[in-house]
Amino acid sequence: MKQVLEAFRRVLGVPLLIPEVDRLRREVAELRKLVEREFINCDDRDRDALILLCGLLRLQSPNVRLETEHPVAIQSDDHRFPRGTRNDNTRHPRFVRACEMALGKPLWHLDLGCAGGGLVWDFVIAGNNSFGIEGSDLSLRDQRAEWRNIPQRLFTADITKPFRLYDTDGRTNRFDVITAWEVLEHIPQDMLPGFFQNVTTHLRSGGLFVASIATFEDRDPATGAVWHVTLKPREWWAERLEECGLTREDGLFSDADFVRGSGNTRSLGDWDVRTNPNLGFHVVYRR
C-alpha cells in the first residue's frame, strides 16, 4: 500500500499540462498495475482510499474542447422522453482490449450517444484517451454515472449537427475508433448525412467506425415517443456508409466483443445477435 501511495504522489504532483506526456502515461500504466495488485489484498479502509485516488487520477485529460451551435438534440424523443440516457451506463472492457489488439495502444476513442459514459470510463482506466458526446443533457444535469467522475471527457451536443472537438492549438482531434451503440436507428433518415459527416471529420485515416444497429420497433403508446425512427436492413446501411468513403472491415471483432447487441450483461436487457439475429447487426468500417 505504501508503494502505491508514493507512486500516486509522484504522478499527481506533475503539472497537468506538461510536454512529457509519454512519460506520464508510462507512470500511470505502472501505477494501475500496482493498484490492481494491492486492491485484492487491502482492507476496506485502504480500498476506499485507492478508489478515491484512482478517481483523482482519472480526472487528468488532454485539453480537448467541443465547439457546437447545437448543445442539445432538442427535437429528439431521446431528449424529450429520456430513457436510454436516463438509465444506460453500459461498460465493456472486453471491447477496449479488442480495439487495443487491433490498433495498438494508447488509442484515441470517441463514443457518440455515450449516455452515462461507461465505455469512455473503460477506455480511460485502461490508459487510453476517450471522450463521449450525448444528445441529451439529462446525465449532465443529474451528474449521474460517470459525468461526475470524468467531466472533462463528456460533452453534450446534437450529433446530427456540425460539431468539432479540438485541442488548445485549434486543431481538430482525430480518433482511432469512433463508436455508436444503438444510436443510428434513433436518427431520422434525413439527418443521417450530418451524423456521418461528423464521423468522417473526426475519424483519422485508417481509423475504425464501429456500431450496433437495431432493426426492431421501439415506441411508447402512452407518450407517443418513437425512439427507433429509421429501421433499415444491413444492405441499406452499407450503402450509406460506403457513400461516406468508408470500407467494410471484417474479422477484427467477435460478436462477444461488441458493447451492445452482444447480450452484454453490463447492459440491462441487451439483445444478442447470436440468438436473435432478426433484432439487429453490427458494422465495422475503416476510413
Domains, in order of start, for the chain? 2-58 (no CATH), 65-286 (3.40.50.150)
When computed from its CA atoms, the radius of gyration of the chain, rounded to whole angstroms, is: 19
Q: Is the peptide bond before 106 cis (omega within 30 degrees of 0)?
A: yes
24 is written with which cell numbers? 506520464
Confidence at residue 125, expressed as pLDDT on a 0 to 100 scale: 86
Mean pLDDT of 152-170: 96
- The residues, ordered by sequence, that sit 6+ positions from 198 with a Cβ below 8 Å of its Cβ are 112, 159, 160, 162, 163
Residue 59: pLDDT over 90: no
Confidence at residue 7, expressed as pLDDT on a 0 to 100 scale: 56
User: Where is 156: in which H helix or E strand?
Assistant: strand 154-156
Mean pLDDT of 242-268: 96
Q: Which residue has the cell 508510462?
A: 26
Confidence at residue 14, expressed as pLDDT on a 0 to 100 scale: 45
Mean pLDDT of 153-176: 96
Burial of 267 (0-12, 13-18, 19+ CB in 10 A): buried
Q: Pick the residue with more confidence: 203 or 57?
A: 203
Confidence at residue 24, expressed as pLDDT on a 0 to 100 scale: 58
Residue 12: pLDDT over 80: no
Q: What is the mean pLDDT of the chain?
A: 87
Mean pLDDT of 48-55: 56
Confidence at residue 18, expressed as pLDDT on a 0 to 100 scale: 45
Lowest mean pLDDT among 14-18, 77-81, 106-110: 14-18
Confidence at residue 269, expressed as pLDDT on a 0 to 100 scale: 84
For the stretch 181-198, pLDDT in tens is 999 999 999 999 999 999
Rounded Cα–Cα distance for residues 135 and 25 (Å): 31
Residue 52: pLDDT over 70: no
- The residues, ordered by sequence, that sit 6+ positions from 44 with a Cβ below 8 Å of its Cβ are none
Mean pLDDT of 217-231: 96
Q: Pick the residue with more confidence: 76 or 44?
A: 76
Confidence at residue 62, expressed as pLDDT on a 0 to 100 scale: 77
For the stretch 99-119, pLDDT in tens is 999 999 999 999 999 999 999
Residue 49: pLDDT over 50: yes
Residue 28: pLDDT over 90: no
What are φ and ψ of residue 268, in 5° steps? -60, 120
